[in-house]
Structure 1
C-alpha cells in the first residue's frame, strides 16, 4: 500500500485553508494544519469541520515553532497561506503585518531549509494581486500578468511583495521548489465577514430575514477581479505538481465594482434598488485605495490546465444562499 503524501498548511483556520484541506484530503493526502496558540477560538470549529486534519501549534513569527511543525509533519508539500490578510487592518497594524505577512514567509522557508528538506519539500507561497496596486494600468481591457510591474498601495501589499521576492530568492539561491501564486480576489462562503463581499452577502441575508436594517460600507467604486476560492485552491495544488517552480497569476479575466456586487446580491432577495439599504461610513475609507484590479490567467490556463468554474453571478448567488441558510439553520 502506497503511503499517503503529507501536506502542511499554514493559515488552516482561514478561507483558503479550509478549501485546500478539503481538496487535499479528497486527493488522499495526510493533512496537517498550523494553528496559533493553545486557546485559539477557531480550534474547535476546525476540528469539527475537518476531523481529518492533524493540528500542530505554531506561529509564523516564531521560527522555532515552524521548525518543529515541519519536523512533525515531514511534508512533501507546504502551503503558506497564513498572513495578516485584511488590507484595511494592515493600515492600522503595519508592524504586525510586516512581522507575519513578510518575515513569516522567510521563517517558513528557513524552517524547510534548516531541516534538510530544501530539495524534497515543495513550497507554495500565497502572493497577491494587491502587489500590483492598480497603478500604471495603461492597457485597457488587458489584465496584470506575471511580468507586470508591482506598486503596492497598502502595508499588506508591501509585506506580500517582500514575501514574494524572498520566495523567489530561495528558489534561485538554494534550488528550492517554491511556487508563487499571484491570486486575484477570491471569495466564498468561508470568507470572514470583515471582507466586503461576505459583509455584503451576510448583511443581505440578515436584511431579508429582518435582522438588520442596512449595511455600512466604505468606497463603492473600486473594481476587483473576483473568483471563487474553491476554484483557486485547485490552482495552488496544480502549481506544486508542475515540473518546475514558477509564478502564476490566478484570475477570472473580468473585473466588477462593489456596486455590481451589491446589485446582484440584493437581486437574490428580490430588491431592485439597494441604495436605501446601504450607508457609506467615512471611517471605512482607506488612506490609499486600489482603483481597479484585473488579472490575466493565460499562463495558468495554458501551462497548468487551470480554469475557473464559478462565474461572478454564480459566486454572489452562492454566498447569499449560504448566508440565508446559515441564519435559518441557526434559529431555534
Structure 2
C-alpha cells in the first residue's frame, strides 16, 4: 500500500504544528502551505524537518488548485486563515477573503481533484464557535443556529456552510467547530498566552502590571493537542459530518487570570491587573460553551486535560522560557 499524503494549510500555527507531528507519527507524508513569518517557518522546520513546505496564499485560488493537483493528497486539513477576532474588526474584507473565500478555494479544488482523478479526497474544515455569535442558550451543539456577530465569525460561517454544500456534491468534507483551545505554542497576541506570560514575568520580577479587556467574558477552554486529535478522527471517519469540539465547561477571563497567577505563585492577582477599555471588543459573546456529545459518541473523542492543567502547563512553559 502506498504512503498516505496530507496537505495542511495554516501549518505554521499552533494547531498546524501539533497536527503535523500527529500525522508524521502515523507515517503520513505531510505537505504544508506556508504564509507565515520566517521565524514561524524556521520553528516548524526544526520540529518537523520531514514536512514538505510550499509557499502560497489562501487568496490565490489558482495556486491552491495547482498545489493540490501536484501533490494529490488523501487528506486535506484547512486550518489556515485570520486567527484573531480582534484583527477581523480592523480588516473585515481581508478576513472574508482569507477565512471565507480562501477556505472555499480549498474545498472546491479538492472536489475538482476528486472528480478528475476518481480518487477520494477527505477534507477537514476548521470551523469556530464564533459562527454561533451570541447564542440564546448554552451549551451549543451542531444544531445551534449560525448567528455570527463578528467579521471572523461571519467568514467562518460561510466556509462552514460551503463545506456542507460540497459534501452534498460527494466530497468527504467534515467540519470541527472548535471552541477555544490553548497551549504554550499560542503567541502572546492571544489573551490566554498574554496572561500566562505576564504571570511568569511578574513572578520573576520582570513586569509589574497586566492590562486586559473584558474580565467577565466566559469561554470553553481546551487543550490544543486534544483538538488536533479530534480533527484526525473526524477526517478519517467513514461518514463526513460536523462536530462540536469542546470541554463543556466555561470559565471567565478573571478565572483564567486567577489560575495563572496561582500557578506562578503570585498572590492577590487583582492588584496586578488593570482593565483597559482599548482591549474590549465591539461585540464579545457573553458565554461560549460547547456540547461535544456527538464527537464523544461517534468519534470516541474526549478531552484529556482539565482547565487547571491547561493553565498550569502554559505557566510552567513560560516560567521555563525565563
TM-score computed with the length of structure 2 as normaliser: 0.96
1:72 match: secondary structure: helix
Q: Which of 265, 275, 281 is the matching residue for 1:280?
A: 275
* 2:186 alignment partner in structure 1: 191
Sort the Cα spacing of 1:117 and 1:99 in 2 relative to 1 into closer, same or farther, 3 A.
Answer: farther
* 1:330 alignment partner in structure 2: none
Q: Does 1:24 align with 2:23?
A: yes
Displacement of 1:293 after TM fit? 0.5
* 1:55 alignment partner in structure 2: 53
- In structure 2, distance between residues paired with 1:119 and 1:134: 40
| Farther-moved stretch of structure 1 (179-188 vs 270-279) | 270-279
* 1:135 alignment partner in structure 2: 135
* 2:106 alignment partner in structure 1: 108
**Superposed, which structure 2 residues align to 1:156-195 within 5 Å?**
156-172=152-168, 174-195=169-190
Displacement of 1:279 after TM fit? 1.2
Q: Is the 8 A contact 1:218 1:284 kept in 2?
A: yes
- In structure 2, distance between residues paired with 1:117 and 1:192: 40
| Farther-moved stretch of structure 1 (80-89 vs 266-275) | 266-275
- In structure 2, distance between residues paired with 1:21 and 1:285: 34
Q: Is the 8 A contact 1:119 1:175 kept in 2?
A: no
Displacement of 1:64 after TM fit? 1.4
Displacement of 1:72 after TM fit? 3.0
Displacement of 1:40 after TM fit? 4.1
* 1:205 alignment partner in structure 2: 200
Gaps (5+ residues) in structure 2?
none
Q: Which of 287, 291, 297 is the matching residue for 1:292?
A: 287
How many residue pairs were aligned? 320
Q: Does 1:220 align with 2:215?
A: yes
* 2:305 alignment partner in structure 1: 310
Displacement of 1:41 after TM fit? 4.1
* 2:75 alignment partner in structure 1: 77
- In structure 1, distance between residues paired with 2:217 and 2:48: 35
Q: Is the 8 A contact 1:7 1:32 kept in 2?
A: yes
Q: Does 1:14 align with 2:13?
A: yes
Displacement of 1:203 after TM fit? 0.9
- In structure 1, distance between residues paired with 2:216 and 2:120: 46
RMSD of aligned Cα (Å): 1.4
Q: Is the 8 A contact 2:8 2:32 kept in 1?
A: yes
- In structure 1, distance between residues paired with 2:287 and 2:122: 33
2:264 match: secondary structure: coil
Runs of 4+ in 1 over 4 A off after TM superposition: none
Q: Is the 8 A contact 1:167 1:178 kept in 2?
A: yes
1:168 match: secondary structure: helix
* 1:230 alignment partner in structure 2: 225
TM-score computed with the length of structure 1 as normaliser: 0.93
Q: Is the 8 A contact 1:263 1:272 kept in 2?
A: no
Displacement of 1:112 after TM fit? 1.5
Gaps (5+ residues) in structure 1?
328-332
- In structure 2, distance between residues paired with 1:73 and 1:48: 23
